[in-house]
Amino acid sequence: MMGSRIPPLARKEFKHILRDPRSLWIIFMLPNVMMFLFGYAIDLDLKDVRLGVCDLSRTPQSRELVAAIDASSYFSVVARCENPEETERLFERRVIRAGVIIPRDFARELERERRATVGIVIDGSDANSASIVQNYLEAFIATHSAGAGGAGEGRAAAGAQGAGAAPLIAARPVVFYNRTLDSTNFIVPGLVAIVMMMLGALLTSVTIAREKETGTMEQILVSPIRPFEVIAGKTLPYLVLAFSIAMMIVAVGHFWFKVPFTGSAAALMLYCLLYLFTALALGILISTLVSTQQVAMMLSLMLTLLPTIMLSGFIFPIASIPRVLQLVSLVLPATHFLVIIRGVMLKGSTLPDLWMHGAALVGIGLILMILAVKRFSLKLGAKGGRA
Amino acid sequence: MNDPAIRVEGISKSHGAAVALSSVSFAVERGEMFGLIGPDGAGKTTLMRILTSLIDADEGEAWVLGFPVRSGAARVREAIGYMPQHFSLYSDLTVAENIRFFADLFGVAKEARVARTEELLDFSRLGPFVKRRAGALSGGMKQKLALSCALVHTPRVLVLDEPTTGVDPVSRRDFWDMLERLRAQGVTVVVSTPYMNEASLCRHMVFIHKGRILASGTVGEITALFRGTVFSVEGPNLQAISTRLKNAVEPELVRILGDAVQVLALGRSREEVGALLETMRQGGVVSHSREIPPGVEDTFVSLMRE
């Protein structure tokens, strides 16, 4: 008889879930909508950025550079100007997003000093993509000039290891794991983490608040139930629900967004469960603090979405955020899960590789759960304080 | 075993600055119907929540079947059946599922549960509706289901917080019949109500007003506290009589009850009211007036004004 109150509570909760098909539909559709919305919207890659070129040099070398830029998939030259002022007008009319100005003495300098300067004009009104355009253009021109220089001299050498071109070689980053630098592979696993955190916290935070709101909590409380039983009985059904949603969106990520899945599915599932455990624990903790569904919903969205997006390394690398916030990111479950899911999906990390992050999730989840159990009072009216 | 069903000693409780209860004491005998009577905001709900261990009193202690509510909450909760004021059921669960859930919650074993459910469905006449979702029941039926859920673990003490508030008169009478049958089975029933006319259905009662007990005892003991006279006035137009009287005495002391107007003459105002009625009789407004024995409600009205 002891401890047997968890199954009936869980069973009842399942019935609530299944008998509300509309909510169930939303619960399943919302993550998909988010996946598609953000999966396509957050595209950090550049494709066919419209360029204006002002070639003042008019030499074979400069024409070669322009042709090379145009041939790349990142840029397409849509306008050729006679003088630099013309590019300005094209900016204002939003015809181009960046301009390349090749100075008069480009070819001469390239011959004489084996290096040349090219002017780049960028529309800074969209700072984020501006810096991406800048990096791409710089990198592109650097590699191109290296290639051109190298070609001029290295033809005779015919050696693959021609070290003579050294002064022209620009730093070329070597990219691992995500060889095409396709941001989808980076973003989609992150989205899975965010959607799971948000949904997990939302689902459980609402469930206890709902019973407080309708008054059924009062009836549950007069029974000899223990806080642990209420919380376990409330969490289990949502763990099952959230887990199936997690599997669904991982599948969407893999099959639709073509994110590779190189690691073991079993490892990911186990870590998914741990991660969901933290999310549900957070939701339960929230619901012990508030008394209406509305507030529970607001609070769980606020506590999950923003910190997870900003501080977990979803978009901004943790190394680039202020030191104090780095500490915050350390206690965010998503920070650890991001390492895990990216590791398992992209790198093929195995279960033991990630044990530290798994342990962190277990720790965070347990602390949240213990807080929730402690905070969950078998007395009414948490606001009245404990006498 | 000689403990009373409920004993309350010097219970006080404040919600911030507002005093909900101040040194309330009383006892409920086993197997009796006990009423907590009082207007809205008197402190009835607070008192019941203390009895069911849902909140702690600031001062004083209460015992249910000898178990202290503060330290023996688990035992108290097992022994007590509680129907909160704004009881609510899971509207998406059926009648049977609601009963089943509360049975499981109270750890009722399977055989006992099956038998008890049968019994309760019979008792509440909800049998034909077992498969209906609670949300689709009528108000009176919902209330019977709530009572059934509170009874599923066969509690020896049943605490009901304003069970008949907002229920139609027929269902209300039905409900009281059910409570009386439970009491006859030996269950101690503690019921709160703002309806004074329901008070007389209780063997013992306490009258609570602004957190204090103003009177306690049987119907006879309570009405003996009445100081004044009750006039029952008849005439062709009760509304007109009522209006005239309300202009003369305070409006709360006048009410239309059935085919007569009742007016309370408190303290020494008996002669004044008598003279007024005589004048009205001579004017043809009143055909007949007489003194009647006070009821519980009359007593409460007079006590509240003291």
User: What ipTM score was computed for the predicted complex, to two decimals?
Assistant: 0.77
Q: Which of A1-10, B172-181, B265-274 has the highest mean pLDDT?
A: B172-181
* Span A231-252, pLDDT tens digits: 889 889 999 999 999 999 989 8
Contact B297, B248 (CB under 8 A): no
Q: What is the pLDDT of residue B99?
A: 92
Interface of A with B (CB under 8 A): 1, 4-5, 7-9, 12, 15-16, 19-20, 214-216, 218-225, 378-381, 384, 387
pLDDT surpasses 60 at B117: yes
CB-based contact B168:B99 (threshold 8 Å): no
Q: Once rounded to an integer, what is the mean pLDDT over residues B130-134?
A: 90
In this predicted structure, the answer to whether residue B4 has a pLDDT above a threshold of 90 is no
Task: Give me the mean pLDDT over the B70-86 stretch.
Answer: 86
Structural domains of chain A ordered from first start = 2-42+182-375 (no CATH), 49-163 (3.40.1710.10)
User: In which band, very low, low, confident or very high, does the pLDDT at A170 lie, cut at 50, 70 and 90?
Assistant: very low
CB A302 within 8 A of CB A182: no
Nearest to A1 among B53, B107, B150 (CB): B107
pLDDT of residue A44: 60
Q: Kindly report the average pLDDT of chain A as a whole number.
A: 78
| Residues B17-56: tens digit of each pLDDT | 888 888 899 999 998 999 998 888 888 889 999 998 888 8
Mean pLDDT along residues A101-124: 76
Q: What is the pTM of this model?
A: 0.74
Q: Which of B49, B57, B88 faces A214 most closely, judged by CB atoms?
A: B88
pLDDT in the model for residue A385: 31
Q: What's residue A178's pLDDT?
A: 46
pLDDT digits (tens, 9 = 90+) for B225-265: 888 888 888 888 888 888 888 888 888 888 888 888 888 88
The fraction of chain A above a pLDDT of 90, given in percent, is 13
Higher-pLDDT residue of B26 and A318 is B26
Say what the pLDDT of residue B95 is.
Answer: 92
Q: Tell me the percentage of chain B whose pLDDT exceeds 90.
A: 18
Structure token digits, residue A157: 């050498």
Chain B residues whose C-beta is within 8 A of a chain A C-beta are 15, 49, 52-58, 73-74, 77-78, 80, 82, 84, 86-90, 92-93, 97, 100-102, 104-107, 109, 149-150
pLDDT category at A152 given cuts 50, 70, 90 is: very low
- Which pLDDT does position B33 carry in this prediction? 92
**B93 vs A215: CB contact, 8 Å cut-off?**
no
pLDDT of residue A151: 39
Contact across the interface for B109 and A224, Cβ inside 8 Å: no
Say if residue B188's pLDDT is above 90: yes
| Cα maximum dimension of chain B | 73
All residues of chain B having their beta carbon less than 8 Å from the beta carbon of residue A218 are: 54, 84
In angstroms, the CA B279 to CA B287 distance is 11
A354 falls in which pLDDT band (50, 70, 90)?
confident
pLDDT for the residue numbered B254: 86
The fraction of chain A above a pLDDT of 70, given in percent, is: 82
- Predicted confidence at residue B43, as pLDDT, reads 87
CA neighbor of B55 nearest in space, from B45, B41, B66: B45
**Predicted local confidence at residue B1, as pLDDT:** 54
> What pLDDT is recorded for position A260?
83
Sign of CA dihedral A26, A31, A35, A37: positive
pLDDT of residue A241: 92
Is residue A190's pLDDT more than 80?
A: yes
**Do A380 and B55 lie within an 8 Å CB cutoff?**
yes
**Torsion B174-B178-B183-B189 (CA) sign:** negative
Provide the pLDDT confidence category of residue A126 given band limits of 50, 70 and 90. low
Q: pLDDT value at position A217? A: 86
Q: What is the pLDDT of residues B256-304, one digit of tens each?
A: 888 888 888 887 678 888 888 888 888 888 888 888 888 888 888 888 8
Tell me which amino acid residue A289 is.
Answer: L
- Over 50: is that where the pLDDT of A386 sits? no
Task: Give me the pLDDT at residue B245, please.
Answer: 84
Residue in A154, A157, A56, A170 with CA at minimum distance from that of residue A109: A56
pLDDT at A172: 35
Cross-chain Cβ contact B52/A224 below 8 Å: no
What pLDDT score does B34 carry? Answer: 92
pLDDT for the residue numbered A182: 60
User: What are the helix and strand counts (H, E) for chain B?
Assistant: 10, 14
* Res B97 pLDDT > 70: yes
pLDDT at residue B120 is higher than 80 = yes
